[in-house]
Chain A
């Protein structure tokens, strides 16, 4: 079965750039979405189709996808961005989520 692997944690200082990777076989051939989940809340989509932002998502969130790796970039990270982040793609008709990354803003 298809797997998406993320680093368990990423630490970033306020105002700096956080990069979260998502690795999967030939991931560039699939669209990747990214979801932010804060404690006790349901996930919220922050990126879809590799790099598109839903309305209401700040411009500091951006995405890219190349080769076997998709990347979520948070520029000028703020304290409110501290959360778990999950990538997601489709293996034919089955949805696959990444292992998740906890972003800590120090």
Chain B
């Protein structure tokens, strides 16, 4: 059974930083692209960033480019999102998401974590 468990969320002041983590199990982590998707309170889904299986393709949404950095450690079956210069509009539930197809980027998302909440307020 695939499990994706996010952690690291919390309350941070505007301009502050947070590092989210996602621990993966139940599948061969280093064979799949992974993504972060967020959902603001009462809002829709917004894709944040994607990274392919060997980290040689990393893509960001325009809204976070230059402030967020995605990375992965395949030896630890873990995905990360370093978030700097946070803004109130970054407040959301952040989901760790797995692509469905082995070693292909940009397919569909077959497994989601339960999310970790990020609040940005002074």
Contact = CB atoms under 8 A, between A and B. Distances in A.
Contacts of B106: 90, 92-93, 95
A49 interface: yes
Contacts of B35: 95
Contact of A93 (B50, B95, B109, B115): B50
A41 to B, nearest CB: 8
B1 interface: no
Given A1-B62, A42-B114, A86 B44 contact: yes
B45 interface: yes
Given A33-B108, A48-B108, A88-B108, A95 B113 contact: no
A35 B109 contact: yes
Interface stretch (A14-22, A75-83, A96-104): A96-104
A105 interface: no
Interface in A58-87: 84, 86
Task: Name A's interface SS.
Answer: strand
A93 B47 CA distance: 11
Given A42-B114, A99-B44, A94 B61 contact: yes
Interface residues of A, number: 25
Given A48-B100, A93-B57, A94-B59, A43 B108 contact: no
A94 B108 contact: no
Interface of B: 35, 37, 44-47, 50, 57, 59, 61-62, 95, 100, 105-110, 112-115
